[in-house]
A = this chain, B = another copy of it.
Amino acid sequence: MGKQSTKELLLEAGRTIFLERGYNNSGIEAIVQAVGVPKGSFYHYFGSKEAFGLEVLNRFAECLNADLDVYLNDATKSPLERLKCLVEARCTRLESQQCRKGCLIGNLSQEMAEQSEVFRSRLNEIFTGWVDRYAACLQEAQTAGEIPDDLNVREYAEFWLNSWQGAVLRAKTIRSTSPLRTFQKVIFRFIPEIALEPANRGS
């Protein structure tokens, strides 16, 4: 097992265990046990549990950001269509896990925002990066005439992201993915599509 792969395995185990049990409730012991390496190995790669936690967060955010970019920059679809595909894909993925674990970023926000400024600050940056991406796509939708001209896209993007986090939270409590589908239904009802066929507007 190479050095790189042990580090990767520890980060992967951290993500899984933090999602299942939260940060405070997950000891380094459980993480090294999951990978089958001695505790000294953990400290070879990471200076502290906090440094490890932040790296787990960063990896998770990188993956999610790359995934968001694939959907939201897909030039073969209209901007609103991209958002619809993204929400459908997210619902399907969380349904496949019965949405029992929630979102690592939402979970750690709930748990850590008040306890650790370094976590809060990083989580806030990650959320803001998501809002930027949604707002850019909504801006494109506005330019394409798919959503009303007077919609404040930044504000709406924030509302969208927060509502989604709330739906994921509720899905954990109700142990059903129905809140995600309710989100999907209601959020798109709330964007009056002022142009039914945006592709044909110029013709």
Residue picked from A24, A102, A110, A179, most chain B C-beta under 10 Å: A110
B residues within 8 A CB of A175? 113, 120, 124
Partner of A110, one of B161, B164, B167, B172: B172
Assembly CA distance A175 to B24 (angstroms): 21
In chain A, positions 69-85 with a C-beta closer than 8 Å to chain B are none
Q: Which residue of B lies closest to A20 (CB)?
A: B114
Q: What residues of B have a CB within 8 angstroms of the CB of A132 in the complex?
A: none
Which residue of chain B lies nearest to A151 when distances are taken between CB atoms in the complex? B189
Shortest distance in angstroms between A154's beta carbon and chain B's nearest beta carbon? 9
The distance in angstroms between the C-alpha atoms of A156 and B183, with both chains bound, is 9
Q: How many identical chains are in the complex?
A: 2
CB proximity of A167 to chain B, nearest CB, Å: 5
Distance in angstroms from A106 CB to nearest chain B CB is: 6
Provide the bound-state CA to CA distance between A193 and B172, in Å.
33
Closest to A162 in B: B166
Residues of chain B lying within 8 A (CB to CB) of residue A173: 109, 113, 120, 123-124, 127
Contact B166 A21 (CB under 8 A): no
A64 to chain B, nearest CB (A): 15
- Across the interface, A114 reaches (CB within 8 A) one of B101, B106, B120, B162, namely B101
Q: Identify 14 new A-B residue pairs, CB closer than 8 A, beyond the known A21-B115, A109-B170, A165-B170.
A: A106-B110, A107-B111, A120-B173, A124-B173, A124-B174, A155-B186, A156-B186, A159-B167, A159-B183, A161-B170, A162-B163, A162-B167, A165-B169, A166-B167
